[in-house]
Structure 1
Amino acid sequence: METPSAALERLRQEKAANPQPPDRIPERLHLKEISTESLVFQVRAAGLDMERVEEIAGDLSAPDLDDPIHVWWGGKGWIVIDGHHRLEAHRLAQERGGETRKVAVKAHPTMPLEEALGAASLLNAREKVTITREERGDAAWRLVCCGTGSIKEQAAWSGASKSQISNMRAVFDRLCAKRIHQATMIDQGWDWARRLDQGKEGREFHPDMIEVWAQDWAKILGRALGGQRLAASPEVLARALQIISPALPSGLIQTDTFWEALDSDGRAMLAERDEELEEDGIEHF
């Protein structure tokens, strides 16, 4: 399943590969010419509010159906950045009526992806559907993570206060210093990022931090002792770790990473040792 950060990166590449639409800027488009990217431009985490869609589609002369749908040129076609409910209402009306429909659009052909994110947040703020505090926070957090706009612009686009945006920027900088990847911060959302920053995420280290530190430590050990030397002297390495901390070797054995790294002989050896300890009545790991 694609993540929001992966969708953002894909759209960035598609836009860069084909930045200009092939034809004149449209004022109306067939429904089949409009696509959606809900992971990027849909503020509501739950997706469409179908009651709202039914409300709009219930009356074909409803003013909402005449409001233009804002679309952005994404490199492969026109993508909705505002008007997801109106678009779905048009599709529902087309399905019920059987006729092919064209809809009014406000096209944004040359806007960079980052600006489209800001425009989507600003325009979606006018929607008549319920948007939760968490959803608004995630929308603002995504703008911060992508570096889109100034503090003033991000506050205006997202509906967050300038002080909240400033706080988000500070959290983003601190998590970057801890080497949390930008993609992880986007995908996990604002509440998660805030908890991690406050040390309330439930684990001492996040997997991103573990991997980065592990790579750093591997380079240090490799430079100091040499990778081949370490591999050729596992008994010496095990004893050295025991000298550093008597609990360290047993802690290593209990990690998922250690178990996944073992070959069949190593796992069989540990299983055999466990059986011996059980026979001796000794508690094991």
Structure 2
Amino acid sequence: MTTETALDGLGAEARRVKLDELHLDTDTFQFRWEDLTESQVDDLRDALKRRKELDPLTVWERPEDGCLFVVDGHHRYEAYRRSGKALTVSVVVHRCDLKVARLLALEENTKTRLTMSQQERLDAAWQLECSEAGYSKAEIVKSAGVGNGTVANMRRVKGRLAEAGSEIPATWRAAQILDAGREQDWTEEDWDARREEHVLKLKEEIAGAVAAATRTDPTIAPDAMHRIMGEERFRQALEWLGFYEGEEDPITGVVTFKVNKQPELDAPF
């Protein structure tokens, strides 16, 4: 069976292969800080006790020799290996060059099955940006799940470091620290990208709690933010998001916020 993939345009073949035919290269295809999460491997081994097989592994076939490398599914591979039961496993084989294979690995890593942290995504984007393969901004944004402004900022930082003759750090945080140590004029785009990183980090930290709270009462989260931020900051935030304060209801005393088409305030943060 063959299925078409949007990434390589050459098609991807679903088939069964022997487990010992598969090779690992985590330096190339694993973008998380830790190669394996033991609890995830244990969960998958338990799943194997209940059924014969896990979801297919995503595999890259190296063009020059046909060697098969695990692109996504390192935890499933390890669960199979430790179980000692699987002689053959289901895989989806992609035939493409290494540049596209790395993008495929990163896109699979950012899916919600075992979500990458925001810092891991930023580091992955930085690695692609600094790669000699020459990934486009659109490719990095799509695969790493970061914003256009973030990638544009990375390119400016990389350019400044290169111009200064500095060694390019392996992580985005280290690059930012090194860049911040130099005298420089930050552009509006730099500040926008920095703000976007803070927004995404905060979103990651509170998303679970907010989602759980709003399932039962959608007013809980904004009420909590109101109490945390205080009256003035909360109103500034609403105005920044495009709301403006309407008239107070004479009976209930409730003030209604209405929506502007465009925010009229500079960011108060």
What TM bracket, shorter-length normalisation?
A: 0.5 to 0.7
1:63–1:121: structure 2 CA closer, same or farther, 3 Å change rule?
Answer: farther
Counterpart residue number, 1:190: 172
1:105–1:194: structure 2 CA closer, same or farther, 3 Å change rule?
Answer: same
Counterpart residue number, 2:231: none
Indicate the structure with greater helix content.
1
Partner Cα distance (1:122, 1:115) in 2:
11
TM normalised by structure 1 equals 0.53
Partner Cα distance (1:82, 1:148) in 2:
22
Give structure 1 stretches of 5+ with no counterpart: 1-24, 201-285
Determine if contact 1:67/1:104 at 8 Å carries over to the other structure: yes
- Between the aligned residues of both structures, percent identity stands at 31
Query: Please, which of 133, 142, 160 is the counterpart of residue 174 of structure 1?
Result: 160
Partner Cα distance (1:57, 1:81) in 2:
20
Cα shift at 1:133: 2.4
Cα shift at 1:115: 1.4
Determine if contact 1:71/1:80 at 8 Å carries over to the other structure: yes
Determine if contact 2:124/2:144 at 8 Å carries over to the other structure: yes
Larger Rg: 1
* 1:81-138: CA deviation from partner (whole Å, max 9, x where unpaired): 11111111111222xxxx45211111122x2212111111111111533532221111
Cα shift at 1:148: 4.3
Cα shift at 1:145: 1.0
Aligned counterparts, 1:81-120, within 5 A:
81-94=71-84, 99-109=85-95, 111-120=96-105
Partner Cα distance (1:71, 1:58) in 2:
23
1:59–1:142: structure 2 CA closer, same or farther, 3 Å change rule?
Answer: same
SS in 1 for 2:31: coil
Aligned counterparts, 1:24-39, within 5 A:
27-39=15-27
Amino acid at match of 1:28: R
Determine if contact 1:56/1:64 at 8 Å carries over to the other structure: no
Determine if contact 1:71/1:105 at 8 Å carries over to the other structure: yes
1:62–1:115: structure 2 CA closer, same or farther, 3 Å change rule?
Answer: farther
Counterpart residue number, 1:144: 129
1:62–1:126: structure 2 CA closer, same or farther, 3 Å change rule?
Answer: farther
Partner Cα distance (1:67, 1:173) in 2:
42
1:92–1:118: structure 2 CA closer, same or farther, 3 Å change rule?
Answer: same
Determine if contact 1:56/1:62 at 8 Å carries over to the other structure: no
Aligned counterparts, 1:8-157, within 5 A:
27-60=15-48, 65-74=53-62, 75=64, 77-94=67-84, 99-109=85-95, 111-146=96-131, 147-157=133-143
Tell me the C-alpha RMSD between the 2 structures: 2.5
* 1:3-49: CA deviation from partner (whole Å, max 9, x where unpaired): xxxxxxxxxxxxxxxxxxxxxx6711111111111112112212200
Give structure 2 stretches of 5+ with no counterpart: 1-12, 183-269
Partner Cα distance (2:54, 2:80) in 1:
10
Determine if contact 2:59/2:94 at 8 Å carries over to the other structure: yes
Partner Cα distance (2:50, 2:99) in 1:
33
Indicate the structure with greater strand content.
2
Amino acid at match of 1:131: M
How many residues are treated as equivalent by the alignment?
A: 168
1:192–1:58: structure 2 CA closer, same or farther, 3 Å change rule?
Answer: same
TM normalised by structure 2 equals 0.56
Determine if contact 2:48/2:54 at 8 Å carries over to the other structure: no
Determine if contact 1:171/1:194 at 8 Å carries over to the other structure: yes
1:173–1:80: structure 2 CA closer, same or farther, 3 Å change rule?
Answer: same
